[in-house]
Amino acid sequence: QTVVTQEPSLTVSPGGTVTLTCASSTGAVTSGYYPNWFQQKPGQAPRALIYSTSNKHSWTPARFSGSLLGGKAALTLSGVQPEDEAEYYCLLYYGGVGVFGGGTKLTVL
């Protein structure tokens, strides 16, 4: 069974920079896994942030960026704002079947 692994929790100061990662149990993550990133705040439906590794949606703030880093998919937040405190999920595709990571709870403190 394929497992996608994210950091369970991270803490960042307002204005700081933080990188969340997404690893695959099958090996290095490449663009062929079409990494997606989503943000979810308590009591809300998730919101799409990044698709196909690094592409932003029209509503994605400029401070969010996606990339591949050291064999993992990565989501970097630069100039973190208090409203960025949320759960972040990555999604990878394996031959058409999607698998979410367990999520990273980002605390802005």
Partner 1 sequence: EVQLVESGGGLVKPGGSLRLSCAASGFTFSNAWMTWVRQAPGKGLEWVGRIKSKTDGGTTDYAAPVKDRFTMSRDDSKNTLYLQMNSLKTEDTAVYYCVKYDYWGQGTLVTVSS
**Distance separating alpha carbons of residues 5 and 25, to the nearest angstrom:** 8
Contacts with partner 1, 12-51, as mask; x by CB under 8 A: ------------------------x-x-x----xxxx--x
Site for partner 1 in 50-69 (CB under 8 A): 51, 57
DSSP assigned state of 60: S
Site for partner 1 in 79-98 (CB under 8 A): 87, 89, 91, 96-98
Rg from Cα positions in the chain:
13
**Distance separating alpha carbons of residues 27 and 72, to the nearest angstrom:** 9
Which 3 state secondary structure label does DSSP give 82? helix
Binding site for partner 1 (CB under 8 A): 1, 36, 38, 40, 45-48, 51, 57, 87, 89, 91, 96-103
